[in-house]
Amino acid sequence: MMPDEMARPLIRGRGEEGGSRRLQAPASELCSPVIGILGTGDFSRSLARRLVASGYQVVVGSRNPKFSAALFPEEAELMSQMEATSKADVVFVAVFPEHHATLVELRPTLAGKTLVDVSNGLKIKRDTLSNAEQLAELFPESSVVKGFNTVSAWTLQMGPQDGSRQIFLCGDDSRAKCSVMQLCRRLGFVPVDRGLLASSLEIENLPLYLFPSWRIPVICTLSLFAFFYAYNFLRDVLRPYVVAGKNVFYKMPIETVNVTLPAVSLVMLSLVYLPGLCAALLQLWWGTKYNRFPGWLDRWLTSRKQMGLCSFWCAALHAVYSLCLPMRKSARFQLLIAARQVKEGPVWVEEEVWRMELYVSAGIMALGLLSLLAVTSLPSVANTINWREFTFIQSTLGYCALSMATLHTLLFGWDRAFDPARYPFLLPPTFVLVLVLPMAVLLGRLALLVPCVARRLRMIRRGWEKSRHVRFAPQEECCRNGLEEFSNV
Ligand code: NAP
């Protein structure tokens, strides 16, 4: 910012210091377009403040200008809609789309001018005309630009604090779009050109999506949690009560949850790596990489980051729950009962000690690796590392995390998987159920590392096709790290 711009006042309230205080715009800004805003609601007020603060001359068109004048900065002029549209070069339509039709009488004054449609819909729309396209039909002689609908009135008022706030724009008239993009930059936002007005429906839908990429991973996590919680409750809480009248319902809030969380975490982590294996198997089966994967596999592959983060979240909760286990009153009572029951005899069981030491250590290592994966999945961190580094972390270290978490579970089970007493009513312990998927994924991965399989897959990934009989000799240097090659799926 130039020093003279720094000295320029920002927003001042109407009536402060008495008299009119028009902005002393620098000479370079005198040729700035006059910006009109139709409507005097929340969005209009915030936009007017931001425009005034950026040195624009602002005129606001209202059905009742005197009524809302006190709410606007002094530098913005309030007038009738007709007056405002005749004075302005670019007009923001800050009116709900249901009321766009009431503005048709302004059509002659708006002819040849740029109209910015900031409206949002109430629900996600498909295969219909967008608000902006409908506005363009109402005002055929104006150039309609869609934009600013993804920023809230609050953000506009505060300004883009971190200087990276994007504004998506589209419009059929490139000159009009350019002038709005310029205005965006001057307000401190980053304009993103999304093409012709036909893209406006997508821009209008943007603020209405509710974590679309998280839906499947969250549903998977919750479903797995419900399944394992019900299984653990049935096996460890309800069964002892029904069979032996033993009341262990106190386990429900902490112990049962703490057995469920690692199960969900490990299965979700396996689900991160399973689609890569499926894709590799399909490519080997087809003998080409140019066939499209089925839709479900495509969606699964694109949800891996969110699935990994869900797995990390469950693992982190499991760690916190485990740390809190000794704090419980029930744990203290159990310790006292155990101490009373110990008469003369060994209290130090070497095997149990080793099992616990190794089990905890493997768990901590798995959580550490998962944390690393979670941190590198953040866009700001991912942008600072190159593709090979990213692949190494997400694939090689990811498989290390899966192996460590599997080892953690195996150590927890120790030899108890072979004890028939652990299978009441043929219900296997949770750790046995949980191990099926990660073991299958790890074995599948090992199978893909067998040299003849790895070589064929590498050739397919580099464009070789079975049906075309293309002679293909893979370069030696690309055979160095099979793990990294596979992860490109
Ligand atoms: P609002 O507070 O309800 O204001 C709407 C304004 O429209 C009224 O103040 C009114 O001003 C004017 N208007 C003109 N003709 C009208 C009519 N026939 N009936 C009713 N009002 C009429 O709404 P807003 O929150 O500012 O939102 C305005 C537009 O911005 C909407 O399309 C919305 O989707 C979009 N938007 C808002 C936000 C936000 O954070 N608020 C964010 C993004 C986009 P006069 O009475 O002075 O004429």
User: How many Å apart are CA 389 and CA 372, to the nearest integer?
Assistant: 12
When pLDDT is averaged across residues 211-215 and rounded to a whole number, the result is 92
What pLDDT shows up at residue 359? 96
What pLDDT shows up at residue 349? 86
Q: Which atom of ligand 1 is nearest to the CA of 103?
A: 15
Element (H, E) at 380: helix 379-382
- Pocket lining: 80 vs ligand 1, CB cutoff 6 Å: no
When pLDDT is averaged across residues 231-255 and rounded to a whole number, the result is 95
**Mean pLDDT rounded to a whole number for the chain:** 89
Q: Best of 40, 43, 98, 138 to mutate for ligand 1, by most ligand atoms within 8 A of CB?
A: 43
- CA distances (Å), 155 to each of 38, 51, 57, 386, in order? 19, 13, 21, 33
- Pocket lining: 44 vs ligand 1, CB cutoff 6 Å: yes
Q: Which of 368, 369, 371, 377 is nearest to 305 (CA)?
A: 377
When pLDDT is averaged across residues 349-371 and rounded to a whole number, the result is 95
Q: Which atom of ligand 1 is nearest to the CA of 96?
A: 32
User: How many Å apart are CA 171 and CA 464, to the nearest integer?
Assistant: 43
Instruction: Tell me which residue has its CA closest to atom 9 in ligand 1.
Output: 41
pLDDT value at 201 more than 60? yes
pLDDT value at 171 more than 60? yes
Confidence at 1, pLDDT banded by 50, 70, 90: very low
What pLDDT shows up at residue 27? 41
- Pocket lining: 454 vs ligand 1, CB cutoff 6 Å: no
Q: Are 64 and 48 in contact (CB under 8 A)?
A: no
pLDDT value at 5 more than 50? no
Q: Best of 91, 96, 157 to mutate for ligand 1, by most ligand atoms within 8 A of CB?
A: 96
- Pocket lining: 157 vs ligand 1, CB cutoff 6 Å: no
Distance 49 CA to ligand 1 centre (A): 16
Amino acid at 357: E
472 phi, psi to nearest 5 deg: -145, 125
User: How many Å apart are CA 487 and CA 308, to the nearest integer?
Assistant: 15
pLDDT tens figures, 386-410: 999 999 999 999 999 999 999 999 9
DSSP 234: I
Distance 71 CA to ligand 1 centre (A): 14
Q: Are 272 and 398 in contact (CB under 8 A)?
A: yes
Distance 41 CA to ligand 1 centre (A): 5
- Pocket lining: 152 vs ligand 1, CB cutoff 6 Å: yes
- Pocket lining: 484 vs ligand 1, CB cutoff 6 Å: no
Distance 284 CA to ligand 1 centre (A): 57
- Pocket lining: 401 vs ligand 1, CB cutoff 6 Å: no
Can you name the residues that pair with 169 across neighbouring β-strands? Answer: 193
Q: Are 412 and 435 in contact (CB under 8 A)?
A: no
pLDDT value at 14 more than 70? no
CA atoms within 13 A on the CB side of 180: 31
Element (H, E) at 166: strand 166-171
> Tokens in use for 326?
């000794």
What pLDDT shows up at residue 114? 97
When pLDDT is averaged across residues 285-309 and rounded to a whole number, the result is 95
Q: Best of 63, 95, 200 to mutate for ligand 1, by most ligand atoms within 8 A of CB?
A: 95
How many Å separate Cα 450 from the centre of its chain? 36
pLDDT tens figures, 121-170: 899 999 899 999 999 999 999 999 999 999 999 988 887 776 568 999 99
Q: Are 143 and 114 in contact (CB under 8 A)?
A: yes
